[in-house]
């Protein structure tokens, strides 16, 4: 009888080979082919999952596993099937080839989704298949979900499911998904980052209306000028350091491992603690402040015509508890002649680094890597836990992977040459299997 560790590499490869690129605005091949593959794997072991579409091709899959104690609230274990697009010319391998290479530190699976997040999808599928084949039930009911459209905010995936099929999550109070549970090296010691918070998303459109005219004339109502100034102010704004409870717990944990001081009155100590996290410092460094990055500009149609309208988009990520103040700052920076319209808004989340589920996650890591430290952290991006939060479900990021320190894992999210160690996937199946049996 095959085990999860026997299957996880093959499943990950097969998922990567299915192109589910999400270009936003409901564009792309969709997730239907991947969802049908997931259905096959679940049907094969006797489960009866449900596949549903929010729009043609935008498919999600949900199945409920009966737990040992059905009086307890259910757990949602979820992943997403879509990936961000990959420009083949930028990669050193075919991004949808799922090539396995042998490296000095062990073999790696390459491809779009190897990190975000077909690796976790494969671990979930492998563990669920193993449990069902062996006749084992999880400690409580588990709703296993594979959503569409996470990479565009979940409108056609988790958000649609929550709004239109809430009965699928009946009785669930907690959830586990990306982006956490992976290891980092801190001062020669291994630690695992468990995601207990994520910043809010505000994709905003800036609009300046002016007076159209000839490009040779003096025009003090130039929409491009107004917009350009607003974009520069927002993009260059120095957001202050803001230490939330989760960030505080992380930095103090890093201090315990390194001996570095914690003094929030001295920003250099914050920088030193973040830098001590090595390759993941970029990820964490974006969580000690709000961020606002202009990403698109659009205006005009001819060199000698001053347009009457100019637009830009800005990707804003606001810390939990600081969303209202952050939006007020953005309106001030935009100025009186540029208005702000939301494209997509989603809430920031922050949940306790405590409780029986957290204890079970920590214990599952400790069983496979005794003595390793588990620290909470904030994700600078967002996950489908935002949608589940609308049903009162508390979400954590826990996709357990034991990684080598020379692998810039966090830097590969949405980057080129995504790759994941095969041994890390096997490690993750052992941790997840243990967790589902005890949480």
Domain check: are 157 and 220 in the same one?
A: no
Query: pLDDT at residue 184 above 80?
Result: yes
Asked whether residue 105 carries a pLDDT value surpassing 80, the answer given is no
- Whether residue 424 lies inside any domain: the answer is yes
- Which tokens is 74 given? 């259910």
My answer on whether 247 and 152 are in the same domain is no
Residue 104, pLDDT above cutoff 90: no
The count of structural domains within the chain is: 2
Q: Do the beta carbons of residue 350 and residue 421 sit within 8 Å?
A: no
pLDDT single digits (tens) 139-181: 999 999 999 999 998 999 999 999 999 999 999 999 999 989 9
Reply yes or no on whether the pLDDT at 409 is more than 90. no
Domain that holds residue 395: 4-179+383-438
According to the model, what pLDDT value does residue 209 have? 95
Mean pLDDT for 104-127 is 95
Summarize the confidence of residues 215-244 as an average pLDDT. 95
Give residue 282's pLDDT band: very low, low, confident or very high (50, 70, 90): confident
Q: Are 46 and 18 in contact (CB under 8 A)?
A: no
pLDDT above 80 for 34: yes
**169 lies in the same domain as 313:** no
pLDDT at residue number 114:
96
Average pLDDT of every residue of the chain: 95
CB atoms within 10 A of CB 117: 26
Q: Are residues 336 and 241 in the same domain?
A: yes
The answer to whether residue 329 sits within a structural domain is yes
Quote the Cα angle for 428-430-433, to 5°. 105
CATH label of the domain that carries residue 36: 3.40.630.10
Q: Name, in order, each residue with C-beta under 8 angstroms of 11's C-beta and a sequence gap of 6 or more.
A: 41, 121, 122, 125, 126
Half-sphere exposure of 372 (CA within 13 A, CB side): 27
Q: Does residue 408 sit in the same domain as residue 303?
A: no
Q: Is the pLDDT of residue 366 over 90?
A: yes
User: Both 167 and 85 in a single domain?
Assistant: yes
- Tell me how far apart the alpha carbons of residues 340 and 263 are, in angstroms, rounded to a whole number: 37
Same domain, 158 and 97: yes
118 lies in the same domain as 239:
no
Distances (CA, A) of 225 to 222, 234, 292, 304: 5, 14, 20, 15
Q: Tokens in use for 398?
A: 């826990």
Residue 100's pLDDT band (cuts 50, 70, 90): very high
Based on the fold, state whether residues 136 and 28 are members of the same structural domain.
Answer: yes
């Amino acid at each position: 009888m095959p085990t999860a560790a026997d299957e996880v590499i093959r499943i990950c490869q097969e998922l990567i080979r299915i192109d589910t690129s999400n270009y936003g605005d409901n564009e792309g091949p969709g997730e239907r082919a991947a969802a049908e593959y997931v259905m096959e794997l679940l049907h094969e072991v006797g489960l009866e999952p449900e596949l549903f579409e929010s729009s043609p091709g935008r498919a999600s899959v949900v199945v409920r596993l009966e737990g040992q104690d059905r009086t307890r609230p259910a757990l949602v274990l979820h992943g997403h099937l879509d990936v961000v697009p990959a420009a083949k010319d930028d990669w050193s391998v075919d991004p949808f080839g799922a090539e396995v290479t042998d490296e000095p530190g062990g073999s790696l699976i390459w491809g779009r989704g190897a990190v975000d997040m077909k690796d976790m999808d494969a671990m979930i599928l492998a563990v669920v298949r193993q449990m069902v084949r062996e006749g084992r039930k999880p400690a409580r009911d588990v709703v296993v979900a594979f959503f569409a459209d996470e990479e565009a905010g979940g409108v056609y995936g988790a958000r649609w499911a929550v709004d239109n099929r809430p009965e699928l999550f009946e009785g669930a109070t907690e959830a586990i998904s990306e982006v956490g549970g992976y290891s980092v090296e801190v001062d020669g010691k291994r630690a695992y980052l468990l995601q207990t918070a994520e910043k809010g998303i505000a994709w905003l459109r800036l609009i300046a209306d002016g007076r159209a005219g000839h490009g040779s004339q003096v025009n003090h109502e130039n929409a491009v000028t107004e917009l350009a100034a607003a974009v520069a102010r927002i993009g260059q704004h120095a957001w202050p350091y803001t230490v939330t409870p989760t960030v505080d717990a992380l930095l103090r944990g890093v201090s315990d491992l390194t001996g570095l001081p914690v003094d929030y009155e001295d920003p250099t100590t914050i920088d030193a603690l973040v830098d001590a996290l090595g390759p993941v410092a970029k990820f964490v460094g974006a969580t000690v402040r709000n961020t606002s990055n202009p990403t698109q500009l659009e205006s005009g149609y001819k060199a000698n015509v001053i347009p009457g309208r100019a637009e830009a988009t800005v990707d804003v990520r606001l810390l939990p508890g600081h969303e209202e103040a952050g939006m007020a700052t953005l309106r001030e920076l935009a100025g009186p002649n540029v208005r702000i319209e939301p494209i997509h808004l989603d809430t920031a989340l922050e949940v306790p680094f405590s409780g029986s589920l957290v204890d079970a996650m920590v214990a599952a890591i400790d069983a496979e890597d005794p003595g390793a430290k588990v620290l909470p952290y904030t994700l600078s991006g967002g996950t489908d836990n935002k949608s589940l939060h609308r049903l009162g479900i508390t979400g954590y990021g826990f996709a357990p992977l034991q990684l080598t320190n020379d692998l810039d894992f966090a830097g590969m999210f949405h980057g080129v040459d995504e790759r994941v160690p095969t041994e890390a996937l096997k490690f993750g199946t052992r941790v997840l299997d243990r967790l589902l049996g005890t949480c």
